[in-house]
């Protein structure tokens, strides 16, 4: 029986490690990248949610590493911040920060990385026409989860959650989406977009 070739996300081809070692490096690296991007942060006076570079990191890690590693990296990021490492926006940390107004966005990071990673595993990271819809979908997941968190933690109505948790970030996130969407197809052109060495999803 012939095996259907399933392309691997970019990072799984670039990193010259195998098995658990490669997965561990990518999970830790994705968490650290998100933490670094979180420090690019500033606040607007009318919203409790800061503008950061986190979304860029979340989407990039998901596209580059796939569903399992992408989700694991974001879960590690959230956990490390919750236990006290200054990984959240502007160096914030601790359980109070993890369960505060931005808790929904933190949950959304894990969900979005998993979803975008799965789309990457299906080949939607290989061209601008497919990678942009993938990262748009991931961004929508982050927004939805963030709004739910604002409703639960702060008691916002849906309209208030959208006004303060989505609208202020649309322009910046559009730029980040374009950057992520353009970066992966370009990288694939450099690396080559063939399947993994075993020609199947099992080679991931």
Rounded mean pLDDT, 136-160:
96
Q: Domain 17-191 belongs to what topology?
A: Arp2/3 complex 21 kDa subunit ARPC3 (1.10.1760)
Give yes or no for a contact between 120 and 9, defined as CB atoms under 8 angstroms apart: yes
Q: For 64-104, write each residue's pLDDT tens digit.
A: 888 999 999 999 999 999 999 999 998 999 999 999 999 99
Residue ranges of domains in the chain: 17-191
Question: What is the pLDDT, as a whole number, of residue 93?
Answer: 95
In sequence order, the β-bridge partners of residue 52 are: 41
Crossing angle for the helix pair 170-191 and 128-154, to the nearest 10 degrees: 140
Give yes or no for a contact between 150 and 165, defined as CB atoms under 8 angstroms apart: yes
Give yes or no for a contact between 116 and 134, defined as CB atoms under 8 angstroms apart: yes
How far is residue 118 from each of residues 57, 115, 137, measured CA to CA in Å? 16, 5, 12
In sequence order, the β-bridge partners of residue 41 are: 52
């Amino acid at each position: 029986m012939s095996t259907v070739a399933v392309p691997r996300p970019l990072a799984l081809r670039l990193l010259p490690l195998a098995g658990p070692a490669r997965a561990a490096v990518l999970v830790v690296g994705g968490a650290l990248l998100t933490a670094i991007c979180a420090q690019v942060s500033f606040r607007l006076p009318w919203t409790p949610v800061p503008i950061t570079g986190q979304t860029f990191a979340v989407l990039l890690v998901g596209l580059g590493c796939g569903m399992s590693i992408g989700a694991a990296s974001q879960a590690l990021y959230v956990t490390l911040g919750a236990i006290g490492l200054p990984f959240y926006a502007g160096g914030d940390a601790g359980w109070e920060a993890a369960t505060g107004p931005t808790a929904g966005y933190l949950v959304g990071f894990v969900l979005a990385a998993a979803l975008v990673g799965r789309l990457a595993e299906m080949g939607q990271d290989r061209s601008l026409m497919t990678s942009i819809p993938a990262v748009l979908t991931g961004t929508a997941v982050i927004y939805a989860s963030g709004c739910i968190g604002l409703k639960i933690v702060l008691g916002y109505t849906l309209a208030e959650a959208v006004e303060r948790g989505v609208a202020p970030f649309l322009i910046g996130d559009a730029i980040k989406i374009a950057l992520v969407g353009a970066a992966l197809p370009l990288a694939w052109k450099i690396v080559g977009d063939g399947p993994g060495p075993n020609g199947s999803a099992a080679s991931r």
